[in-house]
Amino acid sequence: MPPISRRTFAAFLATAALTPVLGGCSSSSGSSAEGEAATTTDGSTSGTDAAAGAATRTVDTDKGSVEIPVNPQTIVSDYYLGEFLAVDVKPVIASPYALNNPFLAGLCDGIEALNTTSAETSLEMIAEKQPDLIVTITEADYDKYAKIAPTVYIADGTRSDEDLFRYIADLVGKKDAAEAYIAEFNDRVATVKDEIVNIVGDRTVSILEVWPQGIYTMGSHFARGGSILYDMWGLKAPEAIQGPMVEGDEAYKVISVEALPDYAGDFICYGVLDGADSAYVDDSQLWKNLPAVQAGRLMPYEQVAFMHRDPITLTNQLEAFTDFFRAHADAAA
């Protein structure tokens, strides 16, 4: 089983919980960038603020145009959560996958976990809440959800993290709040960038994650804070990672313990799948002989938290990375 991504989780919902429905529309049809004007039911065009007095508005989605409430009050989301919480909006139902994120602890009171036992239990639970907006990552479930309430399908991987945040915030009339959050986050990234770059110097940084079937190496395209390390701070990964997974579009690669020397950087961010036994890595002489391990330049992270990439998670990852590198400032390159 590969590391769980948004796409993997969407497939899980479609196959394990809800009966698949073959969609007839391309996932890219009608997709839009953030900041597009909304159209009210009388056909006039307005921004979010001007639309506040109208009952509904039309938004462009990855399944075409959808009419949604201007101020949705009862929201169900089968994947995305941190994007809502970052602008102080609480769905009534969210995915257990998202609710299990430790970085969201204390922010989720009153949110119920979606029952994914079966198609019937999931749909019944959603219908009982009488939502006025459903946001889904699962195209196969779109038609079923749309029979319950206006549904916005957001295809996985079609927007940057920032644009995804903007898009979701705009759905609930919180576009300005999202822009303020993004500006503050980017300012914090920039404030410490020179300091971190000076500490790391020309040394490399890698993300390694232990799963039962192998060690997953990742660049900037598969959460775990890779976008901060490589895209925002411009740190370098070992060449085996830098080319395909930072400069290229490869999400991850599974390697053996024997391949570790080629993928382990001078600094290692190290996660272990919840419940997995990492002894086959930790007890190996190859691991123990890695320069980063011997020098203590190892940042263990909680996989169940770092696997997400919502704004709140990214903020916490930024803090963790900053503290980690600062702890090694005396050994700056």
Per-residue pLDDT of the chain (333 residues; tens, 9 = 90+): 455 455 444 444 444 443 322 222 222 323 333 333 333 333 333 444 444 444 999 999 999 999 999 999 999 999 999 999 999 999 999 999 999 999 999 999 999 999 999 888 999 999 999 999 999 999 999 999 999 999 999 998 889 999 999 999 999 999 999 999 999 999 999 999 999 999 999 999 999 999 999 999 999 999 999 999 999 999 999 999 999 999 999 999 999 999 999 999 999 999 999 999 999 999 999 999 999 999 999 999 999 999 999 999 999 999 999 999 999 998 766
248 in a domain, yes or no? yes
Whether 319 and 227 map to the same domain: the answer is: yes
Give the number of domains in the chain. Answer: 2
CB atoms within 10 A of CB 157: 13
Nearest CA-CA partner of 165 in 82, 108, 99, 89:
82
- Euclidean distance between CA atoms 6 and 164, whole angstroms: 12
186 in a domain, yes or no? no
Q: What is the predicted pLDDT for the residue at 119?
A: 83
Q: What is the predicted pLDDT for the residue at 157?
A: 83
Nearest CA-CA partner of 177 in 88, 46, 50, 53:
88
Whether 16 and 118 map to the same domain: the answer is: yes
Whether the Cβ atoms of residue 304 and residue 272 lie closer than 8 Å to each other: no
The last residue of one of the domains, among 145, 173, 201, is 173
Whether 141 and 198 map to the same domain: the answer is: no
Whether the Cβ atoms of residue 189 and residue 162 lie closer than 8 Å to each other: no
The last residue of one of the domains, among 173, 204, 219, is 173
The last residue of one of the domains, among 122, 144, 173, is 173
80 in a domain, yes or no? yes
203 in a domain, yes or no? yes
Predicted TM-score (pTM) of the model is 0.84
Name 94's bridge partners.
77, 113
Dig out the tokens for 199 from the structure: 């500490």
- Euclidean distance between CA atoms 223 and 44, whole angstroms: 39
Q: What is the predicted pLDDT for the residue at 51?
A: 42
Whether 236 and 284 map to the same domain: the answer is: yes
- Euclidean distance between CA atoms 189 and 137, whole angstroms: 28
Whether 115 and 256 map to the same domain: the answer is: no
Q: What is the predicted pLDDT for the residue at 330?
A: 85
Whether 14 and 162 map to the same domain: the answer is: yes
CATH code for position 105: 3.40.50.1980
181 in a domain, yes or no? no
Q: Which domain holds residue 278?
A: 192-331
Whether 224 and 259 map to the same domain: the answer is: yes
1 in a domain, yes or no? no
Whether 10 and 126 map to the same domain: the answer is: yes
Nearest CA-CA partner of 228 in 267, 270, 266, 185:
185
CB atoms within 10 A of CB 150: 20
Whether 13 and 161 map to the same domain: the answer is: yes
Cα–Cα distances in Å, from 174 out to 35, 77, 240? 11, 16, 41
Whether 112 and 148 map to the same domain: the answer is: yes
Q: What is the predicted pLDDT for the residue at 112?
A: 98
Whether 228 and 127 map to the same domain: the answer is: no
Dig out the tokens for 14 from the structure: 């479609």
Whether 265 and 136 map to the same domain: the answer is: no
